């Protein structure tokens, strides 16, 4: 059956899974736009809101179910594999500093670009409904740090509180290191579980072309193009800033700090970008980012097992860019001059907000309420950009996870924990659907063994 299923969808011969996912994405876009134009109640309710929503949700759930176990086992292996607590501290310190730096650069860039393009200047507010968004309270730096230590680790696992999970698992890993030889069995079991989880990631990824198709088709079927017209200037400014950060800032950082080729890097991280774009969730994308960073780019598990989930939780360059552009846009719409202090506050708030926020869809907008409240901009202005936020969320999440991968790669390279042979090999870690076909020869051998009289 597995063979038939694989052959059915094979069509393009030795097509890699990434190619198939790209096809799923483009097909989803075309079908989604078409359904949006047709606007049939039957299609909207049963196909888009029913079938597509169901498959898309199953796929995202499939990714999410992997996150916590994958982080637990890979991180335990990472800590025990590093073997040296000082090195762990160095990896932690470097990645934290780089994550904060990239976010601060991202939002500064966003504010500069938005100030030049000045979206929202002369905007006509008549006919704009007041939003129903309530401002979120800003957590203090102290609250953010205190929240890292879980009172109940099982609750942290169950709720997917990544900072708490990371903290707890690192402590367990360190304890295992301290017990030395006594931990051998435990470490071996974790290594096995880590390998097993990576296999499960591959299984879930086999469904990606269909999951991605449904997610994208649903989004575009539900988002009419007319939503974009009134806030076109905002969208254009935001997308320009996101692309500039993605292709220029991050790639220059990669080249300067690690000496690696940005084009090779971009090719290798593409599957994770597509997953992030389709799911709009850095957290759900952790398994794919982790797989790309370790198996395609060549970073060692001991670094990536920490930097990838850590980045997905605290590093949100794309989200910070959205917050910067949105703030300038709304300040223009309401003709409020924020002044230098206002902008510095926005930068500080956005960096802080990105630490305490989980990488899930739409949360960037919730955090924006906090930033706006802090600089005295009307929260209801969010109503203006609400309509386009899903699509913007997809793009900024792809930027978010690229930032995670760039920092992970730089840290791994600086620690001598990046396998250049893997990085240079274009096929390293690439999946093709054929991998999951049952080997016909093996099948024939099994069948023959079951029927001894058939043997020659």
Residue numbers of the site for ligand ASP (CB under 6 A)?
280-282, 316, 319, 359-364, 393, 396-397, 400
As measured in angstroms, the least distance from the Cβ of 200 to ligand ASP is 21
Q: Residue 201 or 284: which CB sits closer to ligand ASP? A: 284
As measured in angstroms, the least distance from the Cβ of 160 to ligand ASP is 12
What is the C-alpha to C-alpha distance for residues 251 and 244, in angstroms, rounded to an integer? Answer: 10
Q: Residue 78 or 318: which CB sits closer to ligand ASP? A: 318
Q: Residue 355 or 363: which CB sits closer to ligand ASP? A: 363
Q: Residue 35 or 275: which CB sits closer to ligand ASP? A: 275
What is the C-alpha to C-alpha distance for residues 413 and 288, in angstroms, rounded to an integer? Answer: 20
Tell me the CB-side half-sphere exposure of residue 89, using CA atoms within 13 A.
3
As measured in angstroms, the least distance from the Cβ of 363 to ligand ASP is 4
As measured in angstroms, the least distance from the Cβ of 260 to ligand ASP is 24
The answer to whether 374 touches 345, Cβ cutoff 8 Å, is: yes
Q: Residue 74 or 400: which CB sits closer to ligand ASP? A: 400
CA distance to 63, 178, 311, 338, 362, per residue, from 81 (Å): 26, 13, 20, 49, 36
As measured in angstroms, the least distance from the Cβ of 394 to ligand ASP is 8
Name the residue whose CB lies closest to ligand ASP.
364
- 227-260: burial string, b at 16+ Cβ within 10 Å, e else: beebbebbbebbbbbbebbbeebbbebbeebbeb
User: Residue 96: CB partners within 8 Å, gap ≥ 6?
Assistant: 310, 314
User: What is the rounded radius of gyration, in angstroms, for the C-alpha atoms of the chain?
Assistant: 23
As measured in angstroms, the least distance from the Cβ of 78 to ligand ASP is 22
What is the C-alpha to C-alpha distance for residues 419 and 412, in angstroms, rounded to an integer? Answer: 9
What is the C-alpha to C-alpha distance for residues 166 and 63, in angstroms, rounded to an integer? Answer: 18
As measured in angstroms, the least distance from the Cβ of 199 to ligand ASP is 25
The answer to whether 321 touches 241, Cβ cutoff 8 Å, is: yes
What is the C-alpha to C-alpha distance for residues 299 and 293, in angstroms, rounded to an integer? Answer: 6
User: Residue 261: CB partners within 8 Å, gap ≥ 6?
Assistant: 255
Q: Residue 295 or 402: which CB sits closer to ligand ASP? A: 402
Q: Residue 82 or 272: which CB sits closer to ligand ASP? A: 272
As measured in angstroms, the least distance from the Cβ of 222 to ligand ASP is 17
The answer to whether 248 touches 256, Cβ cutoff 8 Å, is: no
CA angle 423, 429, 435 (to 5 degrees): 160
Q: Residue 404 or 433: which CB sits closer to ligand ASP? A: 404
Q: Residue 316 or 349: which CB sits closer to ligand ASP? A: 316
As measured in angstroms, the least distance from the Cβ of 242 to ligand ASP is 11
Tell me the CB-side half-sphere exposure of residue 378, using CA atoms within 13 A.
15
Tell me the CB-side half-sphere exposure of residue 143, using CA atoms within 13 A.
8
């Amino acid at each position: 059956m597995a063979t038939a299923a694989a052959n059915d969808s094979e069509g393009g011969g030795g097509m890699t899974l990434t190619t198939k996912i790209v096809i799923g994405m483009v097909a989803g876009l075309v079908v989604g736009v078409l359904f949006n134009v047709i606007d049939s109640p039957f299609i909207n309710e049963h196909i888009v809101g029913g079938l597509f929503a169901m498959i898309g949700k199953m796929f995202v759930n499939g990714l999410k179910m992997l996150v916590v176990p994958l982080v637990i086992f890979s991180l335990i292996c990472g800590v025990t594999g590093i073997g040296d607590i000082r090195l762990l501290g160095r990896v932690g310190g470097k990645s934290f500093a780089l994550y904060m730096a990239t976010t601060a650069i991202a939002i500064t860039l966003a504010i500069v670009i938005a100030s030049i393009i000045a979206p929202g200047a002369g905007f006509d507010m008549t006919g704009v409904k007041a939003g129903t968004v309530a401002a979120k309270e800003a957590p203090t730096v102290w609250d953010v740090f205190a929240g890292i230590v879980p009172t109940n680790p099982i609750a942290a696992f169950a709720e997917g509180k990544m900072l708490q999970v990371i903290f707890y698992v690192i402590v367990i890993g360190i304890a295992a290191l301290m017990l030395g030889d006594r931990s051998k069995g435990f470490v071996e079991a974790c290594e096995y579980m880590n390998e097993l989880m990576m296999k499960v990631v591959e299984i879930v990824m086999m469904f990606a072309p269909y999951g991605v198709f449904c997610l994208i088709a649903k989004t575009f079927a539900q988002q009419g193009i007319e939503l974009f017209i009134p806030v076109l200037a905002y969208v254009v400014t935001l997308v320009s800033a996101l692309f500039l950060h993605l292709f220029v800032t991050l790639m220059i950082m990669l080249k300067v700090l690690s000496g690696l080729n940005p084009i090779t890097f971009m090719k290798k991280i593409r599957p994770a970008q597509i997953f992030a774009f389709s799911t709009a969730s850095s957290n759900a994308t952790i398994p794919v980012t982790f797989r790309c960073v370790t198996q395609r780019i060549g970073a060692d598990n001991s670094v990536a097992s920490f930097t990838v989930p850590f980045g997905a939780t605290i590093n949100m360059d794309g989200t910070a860019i959205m917050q910067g552009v949105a703030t300038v846009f709304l300040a223009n719409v309401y003709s409020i001059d924020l002044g230098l202090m206002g902008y510095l506050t926005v930068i500080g708030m956005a960096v802080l907000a990105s630490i305490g926020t989980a990488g899930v869809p739409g949360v960037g907008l919730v955090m924006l309420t906090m930033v706006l409240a802090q600089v005295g901009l009307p929260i209801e202005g969010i109503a203006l950009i609400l309509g386009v936020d899903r699509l913007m969320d997809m793009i900024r999440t792809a930027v978010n996870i690229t930032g995670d991968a760039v920092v992970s790669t730089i840290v791994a390279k600086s620690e001598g924990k990046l396998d250049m042979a893997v990085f240079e090999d274009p096929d390293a870690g690439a999946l093709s659907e054929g991998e999951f076909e049952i080997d016909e020869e093996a099948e024939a051998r099994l069948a023959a063994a079951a029927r001894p009289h058939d043997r020659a």
